[in-house]
Amino acid sequence: MKKNKTAPKSKKTIAQKRENRYGYAFVMPWILGLFIFTLVPMIFSAILSVCEWDIVTGLKTIKFVGLDNFKRLTVDPDFKKSLIVTFKFCLISIPFYQIISLGIALLLNMRVKFMKTFRLIYFLPSIIPVIASTMIWTQIFGEQGLLNQALKVFGIKGPAWLNNPKTALYALIIMGVWGVGNTMIIYLSGLQGVSVELKEAAAIDGANGFVTFFKIVVPMISPTIFFNVVMAVIGSFQYFTQAFVMTEGGPLKSTLFYNLYLYTTAYKNYEMGYAAALAWVMFALIMVFTLLVIKSSSLWVYYQNDDKI
């Protein structure tokens, strides 16, 4: 009897080991990719942040300088300017994009004819390559561009949006509305999960649309809002491509985003050590602000079985 019991167990163990080997084989490419393309560059970047290296001269010229790169940040006016521009962009764009995305999602959540077509139309711009859409918007924001031509119809003389330090940053923020399709789709999925029975019960109790939205809909989709805000914080600090193509940080450094300044330091000035220090400061900033959002979530994010509801 004992032999009969142990035999199936050994077969099961062999099968489990085989499955484990297959599992490790399928996961291994991802593990190797994480190690080679993420962990190793991060370690090398951490080493470079305390070194001085002109990338043109080769690896042999790497020189240890301690914390000099980080001390330089305190007296670098471009570093401070890039922080101001990036923080200003974040403070304006994050709530602006979230409100626009949620507003569009509310409209696309209505039950009307051809709604699938409308959803497709609003989502399509977000899948257009960034460079292509940026070139389109460069023409729109030109002094004789489509936007100024539209303003001229109402008797308003529009500025040279991208050549004016007072308007260049706001032009980039306005352009960002073009790509809110991904955020809008996430909000739409959250809205479709809101219980219809709850909204009907609120209507029976005399609640108007305004009260229903803020007392029922917003709490119900707060996890979705939380996710979109976290992703927006991370994305805003990494803003680069549009500013690089359209303004290159100008005019008068009014669009000198942090990531753009980091790129310029590394690949135009060839100061890889200082650029690595900038990268680690950006990493710390993103982590701090992301953790602040996560920490604050206990005050405003509600889940289905939460006692706060």
In this prediction, residue 4 carries a pLDDT of 52
In this prediction, residue 54 carries a pLDDT of 77
Per-residue pLDDT band for 307 (boundaries 50, 70, 90) equals: low
Per-residue pLDDT band for 172 (boundaries 50, 70, 90) equals: very high
Residue 68 Cα distances to 23, 64, 71, 274, 284, angstroms = 46, 9, 5, 9, 18
What is the pTM for the complete model shown? 0.87
Q: Which residues have a Cβ under 8 Å from the Cβ of 217 and sit 6 or more positions away?
A: 191, 194, 199
Distance of CA 273 to the CA centre of its chain: 26
> What whole-number distance in Å separates Cα of residue 16 and Cα of residue 34?
26
Q: What is the dihedral of CA 250, 252, 254, 255, to 10 degrees?
A: 20
Give the residue from 62, 37, 38, 35 showing the smallest Cα distance to 50. 62
State the DSSP string of 109-136.
TS--TTHHHHHHHHHGGGGS-HHHHHHH
In this prediction, residue 99 carries a pLDDT of 96
pLDDT at 309 over 60: no
Neighbours of 219 (CB within 10 A): 18
Per-residue pLDDT band for 206 (boundaries 50, 70, 90) equals: confident
Residue 240 sits at the vertex; the CA angle it makes with 234 and 241, to the nearest 5 degrees, is: 125
Per-residue pLDDT band for 1 (boundaries 50, 70, 90) equals: very low
* Residue-averaged pLDDT of the chain: 90
Structure tokens at 110: 């209505």
Average pLDDT of 122-151? Answer: 91
pLDDT tens digits, 37-81: 999 999 999 999 999 987 777 777 889 999 999 999 999 999 999
Give all strands (DSSP E) within the chain, no chain letters. Answer: 51-52, 63-64
Structure tokens at 197: 């029975």
